[in-house]
Amino acid sequence: SVTAGMLDACAKIYSVSVDTVHADAYKVFAGLDKDSAPAKGLDSPGEEDSSAPEA
């Protein structure tokens, strides 16, 4: 009886955690879709090194 109640409580807690992670993942994916175009004027550090003239 106690074990069944504990197992039920653990299953509910786990399902809430999984649902939260699922919802957060979709929020991140939706944000990635909106910000897929890079902003102008922002250079990555790798680009600064490659644009330096070679001697």
What confidence tens digit (pLDDT) does each residue in 3-50 have?
999 999 999 999 999 999 999 999 998 888 776 555 565 555 655 555
Phi, psi dihedrals of residue 23, rounded to the nearest 5°: -65, -40
CA separation for the pair 23, 13 (Å, rounded): 16
Structure tokens at 53: 């003239």
| pLDDT for 1 | 86
| Secondary structure letter of residue 51 according to DSSP | T
Look at residue 49 in the predicted model and tell me its pLDDT. Answer: 54
Q: What span, in angstroms and rounded, lies between the C-alpha atoms of 41 and 46?
A: 14
- Residue 16 is predicted with a pLDDT of 97
Q: What is the DSSP letter of 9?
A: H
